[in-house]
Amino acid sequence: MNAQTPIVLGWGQARTFTVIAAALFLNNTVALMLGPLLVDIANDFNTSVALTGQLAAATFFSWAIFAPLVGPFSDSLGRRLVALTGLGLMGACILSAAFAPNFIVLIILLVGTGLGGAMIPPNSMAAVSEVVPEAQKGRAIGVAQGIMQSATVIGMPAVAVLASVAGWRLPFLVCGGLLLVMFACSWLWYPKESAIEPRSFSYLSRFRELGSIAAFRIGMLANFSQRIVFYAVTGYLAAYLINTYGLSVGATALPLAGVGAGAVAGSLCGGVIASHPKRLSIVAGSTLAGGAIALAVFSIAPSIWVTMLLAFCALLLLSIGWPVFITFATDVAGPSRATGIGMMGASNRMGGFAGSGMGGAFLAMGGFAAVGQLCLLAGAVSVLIMRFAMREPDMTRWSNTNDAR
């Protein structure tokens, strides 16, 4: 099948894909929303931006811990139940965070947000891989990731605008409300799965099976290092613009939208590259270039529009990898797709935890230039892993298993 053949879905498949994509968009908006709000939250609670950055680290940490645990539930109990649980918990926690009286309560609620948010991407990507024909799986995942990454174009700037109107609490109110609306839509439209055959709940065996595959373990490590770079850029870019160029929170909306377009474009490119035989080499090259450009973003401080162009290029290059790693996970995982995606997603969010946490530490020690140095270092580590340790999975593994059955 030609790589440019459009993805054709029936009405039921298209509706399912739309519900999944909308959930992914809101999920990623919440994951990234703290970036434009760091300065306002720090001022409100009388803390530093570096300390406030640990809010994102706490969210990503709980997300990373819980993400791999979701997969076996999804694979064994069905996609619908996990989708509804994740959207409900995330919506309730984000809505409650709008009324947080202090920094500690806000951290606790964001940890709960991470628990709910962890359920959505692995479950959703597994569902996407089942909705579309096998030959178009990589492209479909790339499109879903492109919609998810459009949160950087639409979601983050909208958060900045809302905060400029009524403070940092308003974005939490709006996002929480939209998540609960999405919960209702999923209740109505997420497909109900057939219960003709009872499902086996082989929880630990799924982890053991995937954990025994060296290619998968190394892939998680490469993805972890690469996502440190991505989340350091998205997490501290708005604060950098405010600090370096004197922008207000609302004034960061347009630059963030332009930069976020790079993440969308990169995800769409990654969807095409995901099926390419040289996909790992391409991702290694784009990661190294993205890390080097991220260093320039936080270090040289030219005009704001040059900085935005550099940041656009950095996010474009850094976003190519995630659809490739997701497709890699589904290739390795076979029938345990959600488990595989959940484990890869855990490395993603652990990268977010490290990018936010280490980014704040580097910022406190050496300013924004040190954040750029972190980006280059983490990107180089990911490249070394991909070039010298990571290998393509054995695609005959599951077909042989199925034949034996």
> Do the beta carbons of residue 317 and residue 287 sit within 8 Å?
yes
- Asked if pLDDT for residue 8 goes beyond 60, the answer is no
Residue whose C-alpha is closest to residue 221's, from 56, 388, 397? 388
**Structure pTM?**
0.76
- Asked if pLDDT for residue 331 goes beyond 60, the answer is yes
pLDDT for the residue numbered 3: 45
State the DSSP H helix or E strand holding residue 39, giving kind and residue range, or none if neither: helix 34-44
Rg of the chain, C-alpha, whole Å: 20
Rounded CA-CA distance 62/6 in Å is 37
pLDDT for the residue numbered 396: 54
Residue whose C-alpha is closest to residue 143's, from 18, 316, 287? 18
Residue whose C-alpha is closest to residue 228's, from 60, 34, 50, 42? 60
Residue type, 368: F
Residue whose C-alpha is closest to residue 90's, from 108, 67, 58, 114? 114
Residues 148-196: tens digit of each pLDDT = 878 888 888 999 999 999 999 999 999 999 999 999 988 887 777 654 3
State the alpha helices, DSSP H only, in 98-213.
Answer: 103-118, 120-131, 137-149, 155-166, 169-189, 203-211
- Asked if pLDDT for residue 9 goes beyond 60, the answer is no
Q: Which class for 304: exposed (0-12), middle (13-18), buried (19 or more C-beta within 10 A)?
A: middle
Q: How confident is the model at residue 306 (pLDDT cuts 50, 70, 90)?
A: very high
Hey, what domains does the chain have and what are their CATH numbers?
12-190+207-396 (1.20.1250.20)
pLDDT for the residue numbered 276: 85
Phi, psi of 132 (to 5 degrees): -100, 160
Tokens of 35: 């970036």
> Do the beta carbons of residue 345 and residue 124 sit within 8 Å?
no
Residues 73-129: tens digit of each pLDDT = 777 777 888 889 999 999 999 999 999 999 999 999 999 999 998 888 877 877 777
Residue type, 3: A
Q: How confident is the model at residue 346 (pLDDT cuts 50, 70, 90)?
A: confident
For the CA atoms of 275, 317, 232, 239, the dihedral, rounded to the nearest 10 degrees, stands at -140
pLDDT for the residue numbered 105: 95
Q: Which of 45-54, 198-207, 270-279 has the highest mean pLDDT?
A: 45-54
pLDDT for the residue numbered 382: 96
Residues 249-263: tens digit of each pLDDT = 889 988 989 998 998
- Asked if pLDDT for residue 340 goes beyond 70, the answer is yes
| Percent of the chain whose predicted confidence (pLDDT) is above 70 | 88
